[in-house]
Structure 1
Amino acid sequence: MIDIRFVRENPEAVRESQRRRGNDVSTVDTLLVADDARRSALQTFESARASQKEISRSIGKASAEERPSILAKAKELSEQVKELEAKASEAEAAYDEANRAIQNIIIDGVPAGGEDDYVVLRHVGEARDWASEGLEPKDHLDVAEALGALDMGRGTKVSGSRFYYLKGVGARLELALLTMAADQAEANGFTLMVTPTLVNPDIMAGTGFLGAHSDEIYYLPADDQYLVGTSEVALAGYHKDEIIDLSEGPRRYAGWSSCYRREAGSYGKDTRGIIRVHQFNKVEMFSYCRPEDSVEEHQRLLAWEEEMLHKVELPYRVINTAAGDLGSSAAQKFDCEAWLPTQNRYMEVTSTSNCTTYQARRLNIRERFEGENRNVATLNGTLATTRWLVALLENHQQADGSLYIPEALRPYLGGRDHFDPIA
């Protein structure tokens, strides 16, 4: 949800945000009308209730002659108050629906447009010159199978398409990567968490994931619960309905979890290997901070993501995602995309979003600030995930079929500097 006071005072800014996202601008006017109706209905109800209380207090002081008429009036007011309360509740529900129809207000500097309208902020690192090495790069699946690291066939046999087994060096490589991410997070003040992967509807809705892309989420109707596509969901719900202390700076958590996505709408895209799969593992950063500190905190999360990419020695670029490609809760999102040599393109490996107060408002997460309670800001960012293996396998393959291990990863793999293909 968005701050209604901001909408009242800055309706054109909210319209422009909707416009840049490619959304219906009229939703802003719908919200303002619903807000007026809600306030009017509530005022009428509270006025009638005050009159009811006043006349109820007068009954005991009334004479015998006055009492019947006062009781009749009290009964009439009681019925009227019930009707007005019902109307106020209906107006509140209509307002809530209108507010939820508006996605988070984007931050200045977010480009307008859709998926292809991002802005490249920088390129980091150089892609290998495969021609000078006399080498034609193999795709990640071929490299992984030669190393005995991945079994797609049996994954499909057991669970269906887009499932897989990581095995041997593949399993060890993923654990090494995620453990390095966890260590980096703890070194920078994050509390490491192993989070639930099943959450209740109020938590999933509160984070903004039950909107336009709800078909991406696995739902278990027998339990009325959802499988998470990121530990962001569980971490956002961790402080639901709480007042937290941010006087000493942001509260930062790093969630290690399995994640599940239906990949609805991605049929025919990246069907080979493990680029788009239904289950994967991830270490996710999550921060609660003061709203005025959120832009600076966003840059910190991005820097920590880039630090991880430097450690695994991958060439990448950073993009500022266009408004129409943002999730409903994000006010701004930066993606880091690693180079994928066999497809001659960049592939997203991290994203970090500033959700400002949007999620906290829905989940009722506040801080005590200057004598008042106010909503905090929430931010998230990927620190490592299974998909990184795709970029590692392709960029670090060697002519003899072995895999080069980046120096920073070696302590997590018993000091090994390479993996050999299986005989």
Structure 2
Amino acid sequence: MIDLRTLREDPDRLRASQRARGEDDSIVDSLLELDASHRSALSSFESLRAEQKSMGKSVSRSSGAEKDALLSRAKELAAQVKAAEAEAEALAGRLDAAVAAVPNLVDEAAPHGGEDDYVVLEEVGAKPSFDFEPRDHLDLGERLGAIDTERGAKVSGARFFFLTGVGARLQLAMLNLAMQQAVEAGFVPMIPPVLVKPDAMRGTGFQVEHDKEIYHLPEDDLYLVGTSEVPLAAYHADEILDTTALPLRYAGWSSCFRREAGSYGKDTRGIIRVHQFDKVEMFSFCRPEDAAEEHRRLLAWEQAMLAKVELPYRVIDVAAGDLGTSAARKFDCEAWIPSQGRYREVTSTSNCTEFQARRLSVRHRGEDGKTRPVATLNGTLATTRWIVAILENHQRADGSVVVPAALRPYVGLDVLEPVKK
């Protein structure tokens, strides 16, 4: 959540952030009013409680009529203290709920605008040139015996699939390569739970009551994660981290689940937009002053992986209106998809500053002995969607696909050949 000190000391910054996101900036005035009411109620409660304590001492020293009067006043005071405490707690609850609904402050360097107002930072690699009509990933995958969406739909419904044979080998190769790179860079490998409690979802920045993308198991009140960012963010909840050990970097390998509730009719062919996929996700806890530099590091590690699988791609700076609730700034890498003649997102890295850590109470102790929230960042290192780009960019006229050199030791093949039927 946002820092209340920022709200009090620089409300115009929050107003500007809300406008950049395309959100209502009048919430700032409502928050200021609620915060002032809460502080006033808290002050009244503390003043009455102090008087109550003083009254107790006076009663013990008095006698006769004076004592009777003081006892009567003490009874009155007890009721007032109880009422004042209840009012302060109620206002605190309303303030917490209101603040929790406000997204993170947008980095001032992020482009303004909506989904189509991103800024292209760089384009890397040459787009493939074919002397034949390139097939799409599903056509290639079916010929290779790598992807089976028909049986996926039969077993589980639309937007589910089987990775079979070389398809499964290709995914395992890609994710193992990503994990190896992460370990070499100093990340701690993790296989986190994919079912989490509501506090973990809310703490990471998801509005679970209104988010239609999340799968919920009501009987257990658990949520299937759409990214291992969630369990990794909550891993150190309610802890004080050793400042000298920062940054703490984790690489989580997990299956991920998304309902894709708002994507009816979009990307229905193949495995671009599906309900279940696998991913290796980087996650970092660092000092807030180091977050911007750490963000660039995560992007560089993503680019290193894309270079290893030999994909042409571009890096975009996502506009403020297209940022998620927790992100202050986000960079996406988009790979070229020949069959569509356009770039599609394959990685994303977000700087969430102190937003998630404040919600999850993840802190570090400064040189002055005081505890402060850390910063959190995340970034995709490899995911199932990469199969789309790998198959399409490395295809040959006969329907075979050349395996990128870095993946060959893991796949065990140099070329994926069509299956004879």
Q: TM-score range by the shorter chain?
A: over 0.9
With normalisation by structure 1, the TM-score equals 0.97
d(CA) in 2 for partners of 1:137, 1:10: 54
Could you tell me which amino acid in structure 1 is paired with residue 344 of structure 2?
M
Q: After superposition, what is the alpha-carbon deviation per residue over 1:158-185, rounded to whole angstroms, capped at 9, x for unaligned?
A: 1100000111100010001001011111
> Once the 2 structures are TM-superposed, how far is the Cα of residue 93 of structure 1 from its aligned partner?
1.6
Q: Residue 5 in 1 paired to residue 2 in 2?
A: no
Matches within 5 A, 1:108-123: 108-123=108-123
1:211 Cα offset (Å): 6.4
Deviation at 1:55, TM superposition (A): 1.0
Letter in 1 for 2:342: R
Q: Tell me the equivalent position of 1:250.
A: 247
Q: Where does residue 351 of structure 1 map in the other structure?
A: 348
Match of 1:136 in 2: 133
**In structure 1, what is the equivalent of residue 200 of structure 2?**
203
Q: Is the 8 A contact 2:201 2:208 kept in 1?
A: no
Cα distance between partner residues in 2 of 1:103 and 1:390? 33
Matches of 1:49 and 1:296, distance apart in 2 = 48
SS at match of 2:336: strand
**CA separation in 1, counterparts of 2:88 and 2:416?**
67
Equivalent position to 1:158, from 155, 158, 176: 155
Which is worse superposed, 292-301 or 46-55?
46-55
Map of 2:397 onto structure 1: 399
Match of 1:146, as an amino acid?
Answer: R
1:273 aligns with 2:270: yes
* Residue 101 of structure 1: aligned partner: 101
**What displacement does 1:8 show?**
1.5
After superposition, where does 1:303-322 map in structure 2 within 5 Å?
Answer: 303-322=300-319
Q: Are the equivalent residues in 1 in contact too, given 2:145–2:166 (CA < 8 A)?
A: yes
Distance in structure 2 (CA, Å) of the matches to 1:404 and 1:347: 21
Return the alpha-carbon distance in structure 1 between the equivalents of residues 259 and 32 of structure 2: 36
- Asked if the contact 2:140–2:391 (Cα under 8 Å) also holds between the matched residues in 1, the reply is yes
| Equivalent residue, structure 2, for 1:376 | 374
Residue by residue over 1:26-77, the C-alpha shift from the partner in whole angstroms, topping out at 9 and shown as x without a partner, is: 0111111111111111111111111111112332222244322222211111
C-alpha separation in 1, matches of 2:346 and 2:209: 23
Question: Alpha carbons of 1:368 and 1:286: their partners in 2 closer, same or farther (altered >3 Å)?
Answer: same
The question of 1:18 aligning with 2:18 is answered: yes
Contact 1:235 1:286 in 2 (8 A): yes
Matched-pair contact (CA < 8 Å) for 2:198–2:208 = no
Corresponding position of 1:336: 333
Tell me what 1:175 maps to: 172
Aligned residues: 419
Shift of 1:212: 9.2
The answer for the alignment partner of 2:56 in structure 1 is 56
Distance 2:392 2:9 in 1: 52
Name the structure 1 match of 2:299.
302
Paired with 2:17 and 2:54, the residues of 1 have a C-alpha distance of 47
Task: Say yes or no: does 1:387 pair with 2:385.
Answer: yes
Per-residue CA deviation, residues 176-216 of structure 1 (Å, 9 max, x unaligned), is: 10010111111111100000111111110111111697111
Amino acid at match of 1:81: V
Q: Is the 8 A contact 2:196 2:225 kept in 1?
A: yes
Change in Cα spacing, 1:212 to 1:318, as seen in structure 2 (3 Å) is farther
Paired residue secondary structure (2:321) = helix
Q: Distance in 2 between matches of 1:377 and 1:227?
A: 24
CA distance in 2, matches of 1:239, 1:289: 12
How far, CA to CA, are the matches of 1:9 and 1:141 in structure 2?
A: 54
CA distance in 2 between partners of 1:54 and 1:204 (Å): 45
- Letter aligned with residue 388 of structure 2: V
TM, length-normalised to structure 2: 0.98
Shift of 1:335: 0.2
Structure 1, unmatched stretches of 5+, are none
2:228 pairs with one of 231, 236, 240: 231
Amino acid of the structure 1 residue aligned with 2:409: P
Q: Secondary structure at the match of 1:66?
A: helix
Deviates more, 1:138-147 or 1:63-72: 63-72
| Matching residue of 2:29 | 29
Task: State the distance in 1 between where 2:246 and 2:80 align.
Answer: 50
Secondary structure of 2:314's counterpart equals: strand
User: What one-letter code is carried by the residue in structure 1 that aligns with 2:283?
Assistant: F
SS at match of 1:247: helix
Distance 2:137 2:288 in 1: 41
Structure 2 regions of 5+ residues with no counterpart?
A: none
Identity %: 63
Decide which moves more: 219-228 or 240-249: 240-249
RMSD: 1.1
Which sits farther off after the overlay, 64-73 or 246-255? 64-73
Cα shift readout 1:124-162 (whole Å, capped 9, x = no counterpart): 0010112xxx21100000000000011111110111000
User: Is the deviation greater in 240-249 or in 172-181?
Assistant: 240-249
Among 306, 315, 325, the residue aligned to 2:322: 325
Q: 2:79 aligned with 1:79, yes or no?
A: yes
